[in-house]
Amino acid sequence: MTVTITTKPHEKPQTNGDVKRDHAAQVDGAQIRPTYDEGVNPVLETSKWAVEAIGLARPNEDGIRSAAKYIHAQMQRESYAPRTWRTHPLHICPAEPFSWKDPSTHACLNWIFLISSLNFSFWSELEGQHGRYGVEWREGWDSDRMVVHTGYWSLVAAIDRALEDGIPITDPAFYASETRCPDSLIEHVFRPAAQSTEGIPLLHERVRVLREVGVILCSDFGGSFCGFIEAFRRRYEDRGSALQLVKMVADTFPSFRDEHMYDRRRVYIWKRTQILVAEAWAAFYPEHASHPHPLFPAGARIHELTMFADYRVPQILHHLRILSYPPSLVKLLNTRTPLASGSPEELSIRAASIVAVERVRREILRIVADARRSGVDGGGEEDVDEAEDAVSSVVIDFYLWDLAKRVEGRPDGVEGIESAGMLPIHRTRSIWY
């Protein structure tokens, strides 16, 4: 079938090469972006610098040690692992055993890509109130009970509802085309529940992002995210890592380049870029960890990724005393003062969150190593990457985000650990998170 992709008359769809040249040229008056050694994540390296340079939000070592024990114990108790991703009732999961030829493989990859492309800015001034933006749909694919989903889950429910209604919203050739998928149809896909008094935030920006990523996938990768993954596998001869895939996404799609200038230096955050790769890693995580991962047969080295710096996880990090804020920043949060994207306050919170979760990860690795040395854990010899991947900032972030959603609206927050008062989330409207 031939698909016509409509763009504005004066615009030429960017090719992969164009995107890469733009990426290298975007210096904003500063030095050309530095290069980093293999396995070094610029998100972590530049965030470390930003925390010290800005001097506002900081990791709290006492809180990190306490929270690491708590998080590790809870994740073990709840058997929280990469395959926990498959248990969420709204997720679309690939069939098992895995096959590249199975239609569910393509469907899942396209679904994850679309969700990650639009995974930003769901906070509401009506949080906890009846009129907050929400989407009415089933509680999950296997449920007939209708509920109103809010926050991030409103996006997932809207996409799932559209698919159930026969709208091929996850097909890049469809959402790239203004003819087949006009703006009015996208607005219909995200229509709010009857009780909502507000619509989805940044609707026009979401439409723009859809058109951009759809055109790139159709121009350069055969019209699917599966085609992009195939290009990644060819580039690295099936030996590519999760971080290499993250960098390829950032090089290819401008709307995934969550990068900001501070004091003439570029700070990489890459929230949606990393979560796209992490979700794909989790969705296709093999039933037995000893089996090769289909996307990363030589090993994902998932420990090279950082947490995903949004507005919800920093809130729980401060509550668990993993982060400490100066009084000036606490005042801004308590008064719900909007923080501009890339401002020192906003960048400090996000950068400190990245550094702090990495320190939590390191502390959990120390706890695990101590337990093995003392004979508490009878695990045998492990490859270095396997041992590190067993405790990743990715899975810690998944757990903290789920924890934050569970205690949302609960006055006392998390129980069983010394905590600070629950501050409001920081309020930043942007496409980055």
Please give the DSSP secondary-structure letter assigned to residue 427.
B
Cα separations (Å) of 410 from 129, 404, 423? 14, 10, 12
Span 143-151, mean pLDDT?
Answer: 98
- State the residue for tokens 């502390």: 363
Q: How confident is the model at residue 408 (pLDDT cuts 50, 70, 90)?
A: confident
pLDDT of residue 8: 32
Q: What is the DSSP string of 304-370?
A: GS-----SHHHHHHHHTTSEE--HHHHHHHHTT-B--TT-HHHHHHHHHHHHHHHHHHHHHHHHHHH
Beta bridge partners, 79, equal none
Between 23-37, 128-142, 366-380, 389-403, the lowest mean confidence (pLDDT) is in 23-37
pLDDT in tens, 264-277: 999 999 999 999 99
Burial (CB count within 10 angstroms: exposed 0-12, middle 13-18, buried 19+), residue 52: exposed
State the catalytic residue, choosing from 160, 171, 258, 310.
310
Residue 310 designated active-site = yes
Q: How confident is the model at residue 382 (pLDDT cuts 50, 70, 90)?
A: low
Burial (CB count within 10 angstroms: exposed 0-12, middle 13-18, buried 19+), residue 164: exposed
Separation between Cα atoms, residue 24 and residue 34, nearest integer Å: 10
Q: Which residue type sits at 272? A: R
Separation between Cα atoms, residue 295 and residue 325, nearest integer Å: 39
Residue 377: other Cβ atoms inside 10 A:
12
- Closest CA relative to residue 161, chosen from 100, 92, 103: 92
pLDDT of residue 14: 35
Q: Residue 56 corresponds to which tokens in the numbers above?
A: 């506002």
**What does the chain come to in residues?**
433
Please give the DSSP secondary-structure letter assigned to residue 6.
P
- State the residue for tokens 């904003």: 28
Is the pTM here over 0.95, yes or no?
Answer: no
Separation between Cα atoms, residue 333 and residue 139, nearest integer Å: 33
pLDDT in tens, 268-304: 999 999 999 999 999 999 999 889 999 999 999 999 9
Domains of the chain by residue range? 42-121+202-407
Span 18-22, mean pLDDT?
Answer: 34
pLDDT in tens, 59-118: 999 999 999 999 999 999 999 999 999 999 999 999 999 999 999 999 999 999 999 999
3-state secondary structure of 165: coil
For the chain, the average pLDDT equals 91
Q: How confident is the model at residue 380 (pLDDT cuts 50, 70, 90)?
A: low
**Rg of the chain in Å (alpha carbons):** 21
pLDDT in tens, 210-260: 999 999 999 999 999 999 999 999 999 999 999 999 999 999 999 999 999
Q: Residue 26: pLDDT above 50?
A: no
Separation between Cα atoms, residue 139 and residue 411, nearest integer Å: 26
